[in-house]
Amino acid sequence: MIDLDMMGILPQNRHEVLPDQLFPLDQVLLMLVFMRPHGLLAGPTLFFVPLVGSLVAFPDSALHFLHWMRQDWQHVFFFSSDKTPATLSTMYTLTGGFCFLVLALVQVFLAWETEQQSRMRFKLKEHFERDKQITADMLEKLMPPLVAKQVAGPESNIISMCHEYRHCTITQSDLCGFTQLVQGDPARGRKGFTPLQVVGFMEELFDAFDKLAHERHIYKVETVGDAYIAGMAEAPLTTQNSPWDVLLFGFDMVQEVDDWARRGDRNFNVRCRVGIHTGECIGGIVGADMQRYHLFGKLIRELDILESTSETGRVHVSQACKLEVERQLREDSSDCQQHGCSLTQLKSLMESLFVKRKGDCLKTSKGEVHSFEEVGGQTYLMDGISAEQLQAMIGQLREQKRRQHGQLSIVGMVSEN
């Protein structure tokens, strides 16, 4: 049995650590503590390459430096001797120094590789979140927001997704004179417009219509040529159902086209006509590649007749739509009566707003004839003056309703106290 104490290999103090054991232990400890927790791992690890090289190349200087730090770090380095070693030139073998240096380089490489993987995961996550938001925005533009949430849900089934609407109020507009404007009149020396200009005109008008629909919380169903179709119904088509807002939106489109045709130095002979109808329909997602949420039913066909037989610059309203507006009026009439506005006064005002359509039939601008029965009965026309009166009346009703709710809230707070 070889006695290591007799050979002088082991330290006299059992708690001392030999110098050739101290440096690798410190190196491994520093690497584990300072290298791995950093988010940017490759940078800090480069510090250990020159550190290891200096320890291997100049072991005497390194040991003298550690001995100088002994008083403050004695519990770390476990030095008990007060004398500084004279030399440690034989502390490292060539193989040991080479292993130290290789270990440091390997740690740098592993840290660099880990950092690249972390950066890649971060970029992929960022791209995924951005694409997810873009997809959600596209879904909300292609279909109602509530339907888009159902489609994005984990248990969505687009094939069986269908909704029935009992009280759906839809409006459809058409630009009168727009086709003649873009084609021009060669006989009178009036040139038409280029396709790029035509697209620009449609973008101006439909962008304005989209903003108006957003302000009144109306869902844009679709556009067909220069026709714009939008409306409200029960959820999930829209979050609220207000026939009044659809009526006012129809007048907004008429006014917007008039302003557009006179904007700047324009003097376009283009006006808008609108048809509004209320009834039952169904909605669902159709299409394989370009999926959209569409409405189907007799209501859509009758709406097309109302729009095509409307007068330029006016809103053509069906009897069903008029009755739906009166129903909404009755629901809000109790608040009006409490504030001095009788139901009889409101009814007389509503009768003045809707002007009964004269004649025995309805005629389109192309001479096609339709009966009143095809659109569910008598129809009515409304103009800009009617829209202003309706807007004022709706504003008064809503203001009174807000005041009443405010008073009820105050009473409730007082009663609770």
- Tokens at 323, concatenated: 């009755």
Percent of all residues in the chain with a pLDDT value above 70, rounded to a whole number: 65
The arithmetic mean of pLDDT across residues 360-371, rounded, is: 91
Q: Give the span between the Cα atoms of 62 and 69, in whole angstroms.
A: 11
Mean of pLDDT values over 205-221: 94
Q: Tell me if 136 is assigned to some domain.
A: no
Does one domain contain both 319 and 233?
Answer: yes
Q: Name the DSSP class of 64.
A: H
Confidence of residue 8 (pLDDT cuts 50, 70, 90): very low
Work out whether the CA dihedral 174, 178, 183, 188 comes out positive or negative: positive
Q: Which residue, 96, 124, 152, sits at the end of a domain?
A: 124
Does residue 92 sit in the same domain as residue 185?
A: no
**Cβ atoms of residues 313 and 273 within 8 Å:** yes
For 254-289, the pLDDT digits (tens) are 999 999 999 888 889 999 999 999 999 999 888 777
Which among 308, 293, 318 has a CA at the least distance from the CA of 373? 318
Does 132 reside within a domain? no
Among 124, 152, 183, give the residue marking a domain's end. 124
Asked if residue 190 and residue 88 are part of one domain, the reply reads no
Are 169 and 110 contained in the same domain? no
CA 73/CA 83 separation, integer angstroms: 16
Percent of the chain residues topping a pLDDT of 90? 34
How many CB atoms neighbour CB 176 within 10 A? 19
317 & 185 share domain? yes
Looking at the structure, tell me whether residues 29 and 168 fall in a common domain: no
* Most confident region among 20-34, 217-231, 378-392 by mean pLDDT: 217-231
> From CA 250, how far away is CA 265, in angstroms rounded?
26
User: What pLDDT was estimated at residue 102?
Assistant: 72
* Residues 213, 120 share a domain: no
pLDDT number for residue 351? 73
Residue 129 per-residue DSSP state: H
**Are 254 and 312 spatial neighbours (Cβ–Cβ below 8 Å)?**
no
Residues 166, 119 within the same domain: no
Query: Is 99 found in the same domain as 236?
Result: no
Q: Is 350 a domain residue?
A: yes
On the question of pLDDT at 338 being above 70, the answer is no
Question: Is 293 exposed, middle or buried (CB count within 10 Å of its CB: 0-12, 13-18, 19+)?
Answer: buried
For residues 72 and 82, the answer to whether their CB atoms sit within 8 Å is: no
The string of pLDDT tens digits covering residues 138-175 is 777 778 888 888 777 766 666 667 899 999 999 999 99
Is 138 within a domain? no
* The pLDDT of residue 205 is above 70: yes
Please list the alpha-helical segments (H only) found in 35-152. Answer: 42-45, 48-57, 59-68, 70-77, 94-142, 145-152
- Residue 397 pLDDT > 80: no
CA distance 239 to 263: 35
Q: Please tell me whether residues 270 and 409 are part of one structural domain.
A: yes
DSSP helix/strand/coil, 361: coil
Structural tokens at position 396: 């008064």
Q: Tell me how far apart the alpha carbons of residues 66 and 27 are, in angstroms, rounded to a whole number.
A: 13
* Cross-strand pairs, 211: none
Mean pLDDT of 179-200: 85
The domain containing residue 52 runs over which residues?
Answer: 4-124
Establish if 135 belongs to a structural domain.
no
Buried b (16+ CB within 10 A) or exposed e, 229-268: bbbbbeebbbeebbbbbbbbbbbbbbebbeebbeeeeeee
Tell me, yes or no, whether 239 lies in a domain.
Answer: yes
- According to the model, what pLDDT value does residue 169 have? 96
Classify residue 137: in a domain, yes or no: no
Residue 134 falls inside a structural domain:
no
In sequence order, which residues have a C-beta less than 8 Å from that of residue 244 and are 6 or more positions away? 325, 328, 390, 394
pLDDT of residue 75: 46
Number of domains in the chain: 2
Identify the CATH number of the domain in which residue 194 sits.
3.30.70.1230
Considering the domain architecture, whether residues 177 and 284 belong to the same structural domain is answered as yes
Predicted pLDDT of residue 60: 58
Q: Could you say which of 124, 141, 169 is where a domain stops?
A: 124
Min mean pLDDT across 3-12, 122-131, 200-209, 377-386 is at 3-12
Helices then strands, counting H and E runs in the chain, come out as 15, 10
- 325, 247 in Cβ contact below 8 A? yes
Residue 234 has pLDDT above 90, yes or no: yes
Same-domain check for residues 167 and 100:
no
Among 361, 364, 349, 356, which Cα is nearest to 382's? 356
Greater model confidence, 333 or 206: 206
